[in-house]
Structure 1
Amino acid sequence: MNEIRGAAIWNVYAHDRLLDLLPDWEPKRQALFDQQKNRKAGLAGEKRVLEVLRSIDLPQGSVVFWDVSLPLLPGEWIQFDILILSCIGLLILEVKQIAGRLRFVSNPAALQKIENNLVTLTMGCPAAQFEDQRAGLETWLRMRSFHAPVHGSVVFTTNPIIEDIPRGLPIISLRELRMYIRDYLHGNPAFTIVELKRLIHAFESSRTRFLPYPLCSNYNIDNSKVPLGPRCNCGQQLVKDTEKVWVCNRCNLRSKVSYRKVLLDWFLLRSKTITVSQCAALFGIHRQSAWRILNQLPLEKHGNGRQTFYEIDYEDFDGLALLLNG
């Protein structure tokens, strides 16, 4: 299965790092924590759907876009959890990771969570959201002279108890997804392989990713509230002992430091760029050592001499992974 990912995994990782470093007394912390819970639930649901898709033999040339946004009008975008492009047509999967007892209501359309016969949460109607996505995608296709059927469904990944689903709503459970996809693939082809490749190219040229980095700037958080630098697994800031050895005053553990992971924190949380002086100050090392570290990383170098700075490409997921795992 040819799978093209968005930034969902990195957004979860970056927000985890922000919450790890943000002090408990920061007023924005609770709201960020609640948002992260929803973000993680959504990511978990999407991964479960992708596991099902990977077990299905999709037609030749098919592409699965995960976490993709497309421009519709200036300043207006349509976002999809999972979008499948195949010779059969286009299939939208709007993923919901909501457990418990649920109820659909109308006027206005909404989804309610029920506990002990009481409404404990009211959410936007996912079926209405799906129909907006389908209409937006059909418009996007027409604007680019593509003509193809757009199908899809809302997929509940936690198998909740849903009271009286109104007839005609595009709602399925995760355990129904495999059969749903297989039935869909029995439809008549809408594209030749050549036409499908042209459509995929149009998607790749047009799509965008949600990249809210650096997070401190995005949330208007003072950088001084998010102390960066080498840390022990227990969370304690490490203290430099020698050029290569750092000490945790809490655990009394002596260890080497992963410079790359600390620099990844810098880029995701504080700044898209870094200078040799900033790197040297971050680790308490000589400029020559900082210069050597930065030149070994997948960064774009700008300027000369003391005006030199290094810039990360937030869309280079392989480069981000190299920092995380290197």
Structure 2
Amino acid sequence: MVILTQLNYLEGKMIIKPLEKPLTIKKLEALLIRIDKNHPKRPQIEQDLAKRMAGYKGEQSMEYHLSFLDERKYYILHALRLQSSSNYCFQMDVLLLTSKYFLIIEIKNIIGQVTFENHFAQFIRTLNGIEEGFYNPLDQVKKQKLRLDSFIESQKMKRPPIKSLVCFTNPQTIIRSDSRVKASQSVMHAHNLFSKLEELNQQFDSSMFTEKELLKISRKLLKQHCEEVVNILKRYDIDRNEIINGVQCPGCSNIPMNRQSGSWFCAKCNLKSKDAHIATLEDYRLLFGPNITHLELKEFLGLATNSTTSKMIYSLGLTHCGSRYRRTYKLK
């Protein structure tokens, strides 16, 4: 759960929840570092990472278009994930809060031609003459609207009109639909967002919320944000003994580095580093969680002795729990 500690003004905009690299992407990146180059699951992991990175880059490019908004009128929450009354979690790429309405924005970063087809409610991408089906984003935002409305009702908040948009961030994407799909009002290129918001602002005359109320709602939504918990090893059925131990060289990415006189030394590129172990322990945290024992830290960093390991733990200032012989440390 995320608790609001400060409001972030990014390029003059009220960013209630800023855009961050998704945790699942970080876990996939750590996993690729720690499995063999010829691992049979590697192609699937690389493909999944590429898809998620495309989505993340689309969200990054969306920030440019959001930067034109008036900070007095729009509160912005990126990647807000809420739990509905039916215990089903749903995530919105962007949620804009205004005094008149709330707006869900689903971001798509897809190249080629996309077609919304009504008969089978299909969303089809055509690229280099090859057709590929995707989950229909219009159906996706429709469900998000229903779940957000239900969530707001469960929190006993005033229920504003909820609108939704599907925005394509690649300006070269060609958008088509058959004559029976009314997509023009809710599907657009991201560079048309500002014009669409002007249209929505004219559509709704009266305000439902004061600025103070909107800020209170923003805080409440942020407190209810629930991070997705993904056991990345379980997802790909990868065993612990398949994970490569050792400190990775920040220069050439070689594993392992050697510990010499209080520093890490890479035999491949001759790089010397005082803190290369920090990134390696972050890999451990992403793959196995924040708790680590003395022995696990020793083996994962490739330290030679227990005394060196104890000195490392002391230098990291790790908090611990448990008795002396069953002590567990928490990675920051």
CA distance in 2 between counterparts of 1:198 and 1:172 reads: 31
Corresponding position: 1:21 with 2:21: no
Residue 315 (structure 1) aligns with: none
Residue 8 (structure 2) aligns with: none
State which of 113, 131, 134 in structure 1 corresponds to 2:125. 113
Residue 43 (structure 1) aligns with: 56
CA distance in 2 between counterparts of 1:294 and 1:43 reads: 35
**How far apart are residue 47 of structure 1 and its match?**
0.9
* Preserved CA contact (<8 Å) 1:68 1:82: yes
Residue 174 (structure 1) aligns with: 190
* Preserved CA contact (<8 Å) 1:59 1:86: no
CA distance in 2 between counterparts of 1:263 and 1:145 reads: 43
Greater shift, 121-130 or 271-280, is seen at: 271-280
Q: 1:212 to 1:295 in 2, by over 3 A?
A: farther
- Secondary structure of the structure 2 residue equivalent to 1:65: strand
What per-residue deviation string (whole Å, max 9, x for no partner) do you get for residues 228-267 of structure 1? Answer: 3212233322342523344434334444442211110111
Corresponding position: 1:135 with 2:146: yes
CA distance in 2 between counterparts of 1:158 and 1:130 reads: 19
**How far apart are residue 143 of structure 1 and its match?**
2.2
Residue 133 (structure 2) aligns with: 122
Corresponding position: 1:64 with 2:80: no
Q: 1:88 to 1:59 in 2, by over 3 A?
A: farther
- Secondary structure of the structure 1 residue equivalent to 2:82: strand
Q: 1:93 to 1:242 in 2, by over 3 A?
A: same
Corresponding position: 1:87 with 2:122: no
State which of 57, 77, 88 in structure 2 corresponds to 1:76. 88
- Aligned residues with identical type, % of pairs: 21
Q: Taking structure 1 as the reference length, what is the TM-score of the superposition? A: 0.84
Greater shift, 125-134 or 287-296, is seen at: 287-296
CA distance in 1 between counterparts of 2:64 and 2:309 reads: 42
* Preserved CA contact (<8 Å) 1:238 1:247: no
Corresponding position: 1:221 with 2:234: no
RMSD between superposed Cα atoms in Å? 2.6
Gaps of 5+ in 2: 1-13
- Secondary structure of the structure 1 residue equivalent to 2:84: strand
State which of 292, 317, 332 in structure 2 corresponds to 1:274. 292
State which of 196, 217, 224 in structure 2 corresponds to 1:206. 224
* Preserved CA contact (<8 Å) 1:6 1:66: yes
Q: Taking structure 2 as the reference length, what is the TM-score of the superposition? A: 0.83
Q: 1:272 to 1:220 in 2, by over 3 A?
A: farther
Gaps of 5+ in 1: 313-318, 320-326
**How many residue pairs get matched?**
310
